[in-house]
Amino acid sequence: MAKLSIRDLALQGKTVFIRVDFNVPLAPGGQEITSDKRIRAALPTIKYALEQGAGVILASHLGRPKGKRNAEMSMAPVGAKLAELLGQPVTVAPDCIGAEVAALKPAAGQVLLLENLRFHAEEEANDPEFSKQLASLCDVYVNDAFGTAHRAHASTVGMIAFVPQAAAGLLMDKELQWLGKATQNPDRPCIAILGGAKVSDKIEVIVNLAKVVDKLIIGGAMAYTFLKARGEATGKSLVEEDKIPLALELMNSLGDKLMLPTDHVVAAEFKAGAENEVVTVIPEGKMALDIGPATIAAYEAVVKASKTIIWNGPMGVFELKPFDTGTVAVALAVANSGAVSVVGGGDSEKAIKSAGVSDKITHVSTGGGASLEFLSGLVLPGVAALTEK
């Protein structure tokens, strides 16, 4: 289902409401933004709308104010940073609905940033009256917040019923393009690399991607639930005992499509620089904290031969050296493969940054939970609600 894009809209002289993801990290006190990455990610869409002669209204949530006004979660610092990045004034509204806000309607080329949507409990409740009030501010709607597309809130779904057209922004477009291609029409061989702590977090992803990929590579702590299900010793490694029957079922259905670690970097304690060794059988009293060199070599060979790679989750405790070796090696292999590579999830993004290869990845998803749900084959409410072409 192709969705309407902002490029399909006639924006000259219109007021466009753009749902952005400005849920930025703030220093204690709420006055200083510690990373402006999400603001920068929305700039192409905002600039496009301004260049087309629209008045722009931007809306986002910030933090978890639980339906109450909280000065430490105000959009004011975001507005100041956005003005700096755009090189033009940005008006920050005192609220996101009401007569005072409506009176601030931006003229062509102007930008109005609404106050935190979640200062109203009606936002997360997808309240129809609140949705209607948001919609009354604009002529057309654009969703550029892929990171919130898996939430059926007033600003992502509810207000669309009250606007004539609802389109995807440039960032949303890009997410749908690359995630869609990787999961629905991939160049082959197509592989998925899944890591992280828990099988339970990735069950739906494993089941869905198994229908698409030629190989499914497993790393991280989740691998040890599979290995224990196969009867292998796991020592003190993290294992989800209640998911062992499921792991066994998945292994039986996936057959040789599934790749698991054959050697491991183990240590007696979970800390940076802990004394460690490479083993093929994990001894009692030790835990696996990274994949070993033979596993790295096997995974690299599969990555090298691939045409499409989907990656979500690290191969080990990559935030503790020296247990980042496997994750960094996989990141380098993916970057140098020449394949279409789609990376989703915050930890995977940190891994490619620490490996210094961000610029060699085809697409890094901006939505952690949303990209996981997309990879799981679920319909994202914020995408489904957009107007079809």
- Is residue 161 predicted with pLDDT exceeding 90? yes
Between residues 77 and 200, the one the model is more confident about: 77
Catalytic residue among 19, 38, 215, 243: 38
Catalytic residue among 132, 198, 257, 307: 198
Q: Assess whether 157 and 233 both reside in one domain.
A: no
Q: Assess whether 157 and 306 both reside in one domain.
A: no
Q: Is residue 387 part of a domain?
A: no
Q: Assess whether 47 and 27 both reside in one domain.
A: yes
Q: The domain containing residue 333 runs over which residues?
A: 178-375
Catalytic residue among 273, 346, 353, 356: 346
Q: Assess whether 129 and 207 both reside in one domain.
A: no
- Whole-number pLDDT of residue 154: 98
3-state DSSP of the chain? CCECEHHHCCCCCCEEEEECCCCCCECCCCCCECCCHHHHHHHHHHHHHHHCCCEEEEECCCCCCCCCCCHHHCCHHHHHHHHHHHCCCCEECCCCCCHHHHCCCCCCCCEEECCCHHHCHHHHCCCHHHHHHHHCCCCEEEECCHHHCCCCCCCCCHHHHHCCCEEECHHHHHHHHHHHHHHHCCCCCEEEEECCCCHHHHHHHHHHHHCCCCEEEECCCCHHHHHHHCCCCCCCCCCCHHHHHHHHHHHHHHHHHEECCCCEEEECCCCCCCCEEEECCCCCCCEEEEECHHHHHHHHHHHHCCCEEEEECCCCCCCCCCCCHHHHHHHHHHHCCCCEEEECCHHHHHHHHHCCCHHHCCEECCCHHHHHHHHCCCCCHHHHCCCEC
Catalytic residue among 63, 180, 368, 369: 369
Domain C-terminal end among 138, 171, 204:
171
Please write the tens of the pLDDT for every residue from 357-386: 989 999 988 877 788 888 888 889 999 999
Q: Is residue 381 part of a domain?
A: no
Domain total of the chain: 2
Q: Is residue 261 part of a domain?
A: yes
Q: Mean pLDDT across the chain, nearest whole number?
A: 94
Task: Determine whether 273 is an active site residue.
Answer: no
pLDDT-wise least confident of 2-6, 169-173, 199-203, 383-387 = 199-203
Q: Is residue 386 part of a domain?
A: no
pTM of the model: 0.88
Q: Is residue 382 part of a domain?
A: no
Q: Assess whether 160 and 198 both reside in one domain.
A: no
Q: Assess whether 363 and 328 both reside in one domain.
A: yes
Distance between CA atoms of 239 and 138, rounded to whole angstroms? Answer: 51
**Domain at 90, CATH number:** 3.40.50.1260
Q: Assess whether 274 and 161 both reside in one domain.
A: no
Please write the tens of the pLDDT for every residue from 236-290: 999 999 999 999 999 999 999 999 999 999 999 999 999 999 999 999 999 999 9
Q: Is residue 292 part of a domain?
A: yes
Please write the tens of the pLDDT for every residue from 62-100: 999 999 999 999 999 999 999 999 999 999 999 999 999
Q: Assess whether 238 and 193 both reside in one domain.
A: yes
Task: Determine whether 38 is an active site residue.
Answer: yes
C-alpha 204 chain-centroid distance = 16
Alpha-carbon Rg for the chain, nearest whole angstrom, is 23
Domain C-terminal end among 142, 171, 200:
171
- Is residue 131 predicted with pLDDT exceeding 70? yes
Residue with tokens 């902002």: 6
Q: Assess whether 12 and 114 both reside in one domain.
A: yes
Q: Is residue 153 part of a domain?
A: yes
Q: Assess whether 256 and 328 both reside in one domain.
A: yes
Contact in structure between 353 and 328 (CB atoms under 8 Å): no
Q: Assess whether 236 and 88 both reside in one domain.
A: no
- Whole-number pLDDT of residue 201: 82
Task: Determine whether 304 is an active site residue.
Answer: no
Domain C-terminal end among 140, 171, 202:
171
Between residues 193 and 349, the one the model is more confident about: 193
- Whole-number pLDDT of residue 1: 59
Phi, psi of 85 (to 5 degrees): -70, -35
Average of per-residue pLDDT across 32-44:
94
Q: Assess whether 237 and 336 both reside in one domain.
A: yes
Task: Determine whether 211 is an active site residue.
Answer: no
Confidence class of residue 344 from pLDDT cuts 50, 70 and 90?
Answer: confident
